[in-house]
A and B are shown apart, each in its own frame.
Chain A
Amino acid sequence: MRIWVAAAVLATWGTTALGAEREAPPYPDRGLKDTVSAKRLPVPPHPVLVEGGEIWDANCRICHGPGNFGAPKITGSRFWGKRLPKGIATLISHAQNGFETSLGGLMPARGGNDELTDDEVEAAVRFMVFHSGGADIALDGLD
């Protein structure tokens, strides 16, 4: 039984990888329980986002995985509700350049890793947005 379930999941996300399915699965609005790593999430439908998952895991997960230190948790759409309407370009810019709110909110530029390129940061942001209720804008501008 488990084998069939696993096969069905793989088949579903196999078609996703080919572009037939462009939505992330529904997550609880506070996000998956416990710390979320990229390997707990389905493979996204675009190679940029696939690469972004690896970059996100190595650089962003420490805060956005558990949702600690005020960072919006990946998969927690309620935390992204006010952020997603800003658009993918703004979210990418905030991650590349850092972002502070008037109340002291802080997102360090490139998550503190100066060696990340703009493209790598963009891929990681797109991956996180895809799995946080913003599947549509995560794919904006991608071929």
Chain B
Amino acid sequence: MTVKAIKAIVLGGMLATAPLAATADEGLDPKDVADMLHAVMDSDRTIYTKMIVQRLVAKEKLIKASEFFEDDKAAPLPAQMFRFGSEMVADKTDLFSYSLQSLWPINKQNAPRTDMEKEGLQYISDNPGENFYGEEELGGESYFTAVYPDVAVAEVCATCHNDHKDTPRTDFKVGDVMGGVVIRIPLDG
């Protein structure tokens, strides 16, 4: 773990015991901003998984969910819904970006690219339930980077990944960290 990452985690712990450290002059702490963004993402993703995939696909069997949703006239998979949202946000703003990544990606474009992404994904895998916070410099710009665990919350999550022809890992089970949500916020300007 880098010094900056450790500092960020310690800072996060300190903030946890203090009132929200935000004033009109200082703005919000980037950790709080990342946590707020993730709360929205996690809630939307959970609702889609539960109320569309789990309810209409698995329970009621009214529709199908498929990676090839257009050809199959099906609903997109939760991970695809998440990626479509992140792509739309990237078109709208450069104030933050987010992505769903994994150390065992089915789609290779979802593999970590920066050292901090790799470090963060490894950290949340080694420390289930914990988030990762750090700072990194990319292209001369400083960024606050947060990584949140993405967990197999239902059997269908694990089996879909385990059975996919392109998966590099086939032993996921319910409760395992399969990847992480990476949120990046520029610190300069």
Cα(A61)–Cα(B174), bound, Å: 14
Which chain B residues lie closer than 8 Å to A70 at the CB level?
Answer: 43, 46-47, 50, 153
The answer, yes or no, to whether A5 is at the interface (CB within 8 Å) is: no
Within 8 A of A (CB), among B80-131: 128-131
Please indicate the chain B residues that have their CB under 8 angstroms from the CB of A33 in the complex.
15-17
A125 to chain B, nearest CB (A): 16
A69 to chain B, nearest CB (A): 5
Contact B174 A103 (CB under 8 A): no
B29 close to A (CB within 8 Å): no
Cβ A34 vs Cβ B13 within 8 A: yes
B129 touches A37 (CB 8 A): yes
Cβ–Cβ < 8 Å partners of B16 in chain A: 32-34
Q: Is the CB of A66 within 8 A of B50?
A: no
List B residues 46-62 near A (Cβ within 8 Å).
Answer: 46-47, 49-51, 54-55, 59
Q: Could you tell me how many residues of chain B have their Cβ less than 8 Å away from some Cβ of chain A?
A: 31
Known: A34-B13, A112-B173. A103 touches B129 (CB 8 A): no
Known: A37-B129, A62-B128, A103-B55. A108 touches B175 (CB 8 A): yes
Most buried by B among A34, A35, A68: A68
With CB as the reference atom, state the residue of chain B lying closest to A37: B129
Could you tell me if B59 and A104 are in contact, using CB atoms closer than 8 angstroms? yes
Inter-chain CA distance A34–B20, complex, in Å, is 12
A8 at the interface (CB under 8 A from B): no
Residue B147 is within 8 A (CB to CB) of chain A in the complex? no
Q: Which residue among A35, A106, A108 has the maximum number of chain B CB atoms within 10 Å of its CB?
A: A106
Residue of chain A at shortest CB distance from B48: A104
User: A61 to B128, Cβ gap below 8 A?
Assistant: yes
Q: Say yes or no: is B154 at the interface (Cβ < 8 Å to chain A).
A: yes
B137 at the interface (CB under 8 A from A): no
With an 8 A cutoff between CB atoms, is B151 at the interface? yes
A65 at the interface (CB under 8 A from B): yes
Identity of the chain B residue whose Cβ is nearest the Cβ of A34 in the assembled complex: B16
Closest A residue to B154 by CB, please name it.
A106
Flag whether A105 is at the interface (Cβ < 8 A).
yes
- Kindly identify which residue among A32, A59, A68, A104 contacts B50, using a CB–CB cutoff of 8 Å: A104
Chain A CB within 8 A of B186 CB:
no
Query: Which residue of A has the minimal Cβ distance to B176?
Result: A112
A143 at the interface (CB under 8 A from B): no
| Residues 1 to 46 of chain B near chain A (Cβ within 8 Å) | 12-13, 15-17, 42-43, 46
CB B171 to nearest CB in A, in angstroms, measures 13
Choose among B12, B55, B151 the residue that contacts A34 (Cβ–Cβ < 8 A): B12
Instruction: Please give me the 9 A-B residue pairs with the lowest Cβ-Cβ distance, nearest first.
Output: A112-B174, A112-B175, A104-B55, A104-B50, A61-B129, A65-B129, A62-B129, A104-B54, A33-B16
Q: What are 6 A-B pairs with beta-carbon distances under 8 A?
A: A61-B129, A103-B50, A104-B50, A108-B155, A108-B174, A112-B176
